Amino acid sequence: MNKKTVKDIDLKDKKVLVRCDFNVPMDENRNITDNRRIVAALPTIKYLLEQNCKIVLCSHLGRPKGEFKPEFSLAPVAKELSKQLKTDVVMAKDVIGEDATKKANKLKNGEILLLENLRFHREETDNDPEFAKKLAEFGEVFVNDAFGTAHRAHASTEGVTKYLPAVSGFLIEKELTFLGNALENPKRPYVAILGGAKVSDKIGVIDSLLEKVDTLMIGGAMAYTFFKAQGYSVGDSLCEEDKCDLALELMAKAKEKGVKMVLPIDTKIGKEYKPDTESKTVAWTDIPDGWQGFDIGEKTIEMFRKELNGAKTIVWNGPLGLFEFDQFAVGTDAIAHKLANLNDAITIVGGGDSAAAVEKAGLADKISHVSTGGGASLEFLEGKKLPGIEALLDK
C-alpha cells in the first residue's frame, strides 16, 4: 500500500488534525485499564511536536450513539496522554462547538488539544459532509493514525479527506507494511492460524487466505462446525449447523489449492460455561452429549507447534479456546509462546482477542507485529478496500 505518511508532507509549523484510536477500556471509576492504544499513538504525536505543529487530536470512545454521555468522555484519555507525553494536553468540552473552536484558535505551536468523543454526534458515523467540513476546519493537514476504524467510512476517517490533504501516521504505516507484505509478498512457508467462535465471521478471510497460504490451521469454537460437517457429534459445543456445507466447501477448496488444512485432533471439554467447570480431554470424534468443547487438547497443541516449525510468515487471528477462563487458555497460551520463540519468522497477530491473549501472556514485544485493528485487520486480510486507507494520498 503506497500511501503518503507524515514524513512525505511538509508539516512544519502547521495546524494538524489527527484521528487517533483512543477507544480504551475503563473500569467503573473511569480509570483506564489498558493504555496500549494511547501508547501506540505516541510516535506520531511526538513527531508532530518535533515539527512544531499545533495538534488537534480526535477519537471515539465506546458507543454513546449520538448523544453526550459523561461516562464516554475522553477526559481520562487527555490525562493519560499528558502523563505519557510529559506535557499538558488541553481537553475540549465539545467536538465542533464553541469550546473546541475557542481552544483550537488559542493553540500555539507545540501545543495539543483533544476534542471530545466524536460519537457524541450521530453525524460522525453517518459521515455527514457538514460535520466533516467543520472537523476539517481544525487543521491544514489531516493525519489518520486510527487503523482500528479504517474499515469504516466515517466523517473523521473518510469525510475530512475531501477538505484536507490526508496522510497516514506511523501506526497505520506499520499496519500496512506488515499486513500488506503478508498479503502481497509473504516469505514462505506461509502459515495462517484462525480461531474464534464462528466460521461465519471468518468466511471471507478463510477464502482469501486459501489463495495465499501454504498451511491453514483452525482452532477455537469454529472448529466444531468443521467436525459436525464431517458427520461427527460435537455434543453441546458451539456450532453453526447452517454453515456445515460451507465448511465442506472450504475443505474442498483447500485440497484443490494444495493448502494443508489442519484441524484439531483432540479437544478439552467442559460441563458448563464457567471457570471451574469439570473438564476432560477427548478425541475430536468422541465429544459426548452434555459436554462442550472449550479448548484444543495437548495432542493438537503438539501438532500445531510442529506445523509452525520452519514457517517464515505466520498470521494469527482469533483465540484457540475460551481463553478468558484459565483452564481453557492453555492452547491459546501455548501457541502465543511458540510464536514468541520463532526468531526467524515474521509473526503477525491480528487484533481483538488474539492480541489480548498475547498481551495477557506478556509476549507482545516478542511478536513482529500485533495489530491494533480487530475488524479492520480482518477485512484487510480478506483483501477488502478500507475506506479510511483508500482516502489517503498516494505516494
Handedness of CA 150, 155, 159, 164 (dihedral sign): negative
Spot the catalytic one: 352, 373, 374, 388: 352
**Phi, psi for residue 344 in degrees, rounded to 5:** -105, 20
Locus of grid cell 490526508: 166
For the question of residue 352 being annotated catalytic, the response is yes
What type of residue sits at position 141? V
For the question of residue 187 being annotated catalytic, the response is no
Q: How far apart are the first and last CA of the chain?
A: 9
For the question of residue 290 being annotated catalytic, the response is no
**What are the DSSP E strand ranges found in 249-291?**
260-262, 266-270, 279-283
Respond yes or no on whether the N-terminal peptide bond of residue 186 is cis (omega within 30° of 0). no
Spot the catalytic one: 79, 93, 198, 257: 198
Spot the catalytic one: 133, 375, 383, 384: 375
Contact 38, 75 (CB under 8 A): no
**What are the DSSP E strand ranges found in 180-224?**
190-194, 215-218
Q: How far is CA 291 from CA 227, 267, 296, in A?
A: 15, 11, 14
Angstrom distance (rounded) from CA 282 to CA 276? 18
- Work out whether strand 266-270 and strand 292-296 pair parallel, antiparallel, or are unpaired: antiparallel
Spot the catalytic one: 37, 103, 119, 152: 37
For the question of residue 63 being annotated catalytic, the response is no
Q: Buried (b) or exposed (e) across 207-242, using 16+ Cβ within 10 A?
A: ebbbebbbbbbbbbbbbbbbbbbeeeebbbbbbbee
Catalytic residues: 37, 198, 352, 375
